[in-house]
Structure 1
Amino acid sequence: MKQYILLSLFALCLVACSEDEIKPYHGEHYLFFSELMESGDEAIELSFNNYPLDDELTVKIGMRLVGSPFETPTVYKVGVVADKTTAQSENYELPINPTFGANVAEDVLELKLKKTESLKEDVELLLRIEPNEHFAGSVKNYETIKIVFNNVQSKPLWWTKDVETVYLGAYTREKYLALVEYGGEEVLRFGELNSAEQRQCALRLKDAIEKYGLEEANGKPMTVPIY
């Protein structure tokens, strides 16, 4: 019986220690990037290649409050860790005075990424939650978040041999751009679609090819195998 009592006390200690990591001290407020906890990923990764018609992308990062909710929207501070950031300032835009919502425990930080000619390889943007007059700081291991992005033009991973044979034919940049423009909003997650949905996207592209006489870069008519 003593053995079970000791094990129970040990488990309670572990829980208490875990809770202490995110417990506010002396009534102070803290913020942390809940995105890291929920996704389990070390970084947010994206490529403008998957959004070829967009020159800007909005990234939404989940954040969580430790402490009692504020009665009014409250300004917090997020800075760039310069020595660990390779992205140029022209490639991103942070909100000047981001605010955490009133009467909520969770909110979202929105920032913009901008496509430029310099994004020919991965660049990194490391953000850190910093203290201000409203927040004492953040929580260990969740105070920074990394965004990795590029504009490397390449064939999407979902454009496999099966997709090529059944739906879209050989990959070309012109055909990909046409698919994004005419295939429907779901095209950007083509690899997650079922066969019927993929077929509909390919048929929309086929209709556009016939209607507008779409061509490849070499002037030859664009073609798809779907029928």
Structure 2
Amino acid sequence: MKKYIFLISVLLAAWACSEDEINNYQSTRYLYFSKPEVLDSATFLSFSHYPGATEKIINIEVTLIGDLLEENASYQLEIDQDSTTADPSDYELDLTQTFAANQVKDTIEIKVFNKNLANKEVTLYLRIVENEYFSPGLKKNRAARIIFNDIASQPLWWDDDIETLFLGTWTPEKYEKFIESSGITDLSGYEFTEIRKICLQFKEDIRTHGWKEADGSPMELPVN
């Protein structure tokens, strides 16, 4: 009988320990970057898309796994120096962030500067590190790569539809004159009729001012 009592006691103790482990696991909070750290999903900004801008804000989203916070709690970031090429003077970032209570998402605000970026591209590589409130979450999402430069490049919104219907092939010269004509750096969010009106005015400005491409060829737009 004593043998059975001993076995039952061991089983009950094991069950209790197992339950504690489950509860501890469930109560642990994990943080990860919503955007996976792979090159194709790096956050990218080119100052060439914002003529005259000397600084811009880049927002990076963080997601919580686990119980919602009852009170605000801090979480910690670190810069991977081996993978970062940006100079500390190129950005401004608080490595101690605050995650708000009753939220599943938080946004990290990074201010980047266009001081020494002429024809240059740099990378800022961030990681989430463990502290008393949070542990790093999904392994592939524990880091975020931010790439920024001041190199002339085609903006993402100038896609195949914009090229085919409105602005034609992107060139640095055409983009510069488009901004001069419209005062707009990004057509994202504009309706078809608005884009057409903006581009027709640009086409008229090209004709009026005789704007040309760098090689002296006509600056052509397909918009009608």
- Check whether TM > 0.5: yes
* Unpaired stretches in structure 2, ≥5 consecutive residues: 1-22
Matched, 1:183 2:191: no
TM-score between the two structures when normalised by the length of structure 2? 0.66
What pairs up with 1:43-62 in 2 under 5 angstroms?
A: 43-62=42-61
Preserved CA contact (<8 Å) 1:33 1:145: yes
Deviates more, 1:93-102 or 1:127-136: 93-102
Name the Cα RMSD after superposition. 4.1
How many Å separate the matches in 2 of 1:224 and 1:42?
Answer: 33
- Judge conservation of contact 1:184–1:201 (CA < 8 Å) in 2: no
User: What residue number does 1:102 align with?
Assistant: 101
Contact 1:62 1:106 in 2 (8 A): yes
Match of 1:29 in 2: 29
Q: Pick the structure with greater CA Rg.
A: 2
Aligned residues: 197
Matches within 5 A, 1:160-175: 167=167, 171=171, 173=173
Cα pair distance change 1:169/1:46, threshold 3 Å: closer
Structure 1 residues 99-178: aligned runs within 5 Å = 99-154=98-153, 158=158, 167=167, 171=171, 173=173, 176-178=175-177
Cα distance change, pair 208–32 in 1 and its aligned pair in 2 (3 A): same
Question: Identity across aligned pairs (percent)?
Answer: 29
TM-score, normalised to structure 1's length?
Answer: 0.65
SS of corresponding position for 1:35:
coil
Amino acid at match of 1:199: R
Correspondence for 1:200:
197
Unaligned runs of 5+ in 1: 1-22
CA distance in 1, matches of 2:165, 2:41: 36
Partner of 1:20: none
Q: Summarize the Cα distance change of 1:44–1:203 in structure 2 as closer, same or farther, 3 Å threshold.
A: same
Please say if residues 74 and 133 of structure 2, whose CA atoms lie closer than 8 Å, have aligned partners that are also in contact.
yes
SS in 2 for 1:98: strand
Q: Give the direction of change, closer, same or farther, for the CA distance of 1:95–1:180 in structure 2 (3 Å limit).
A: farther
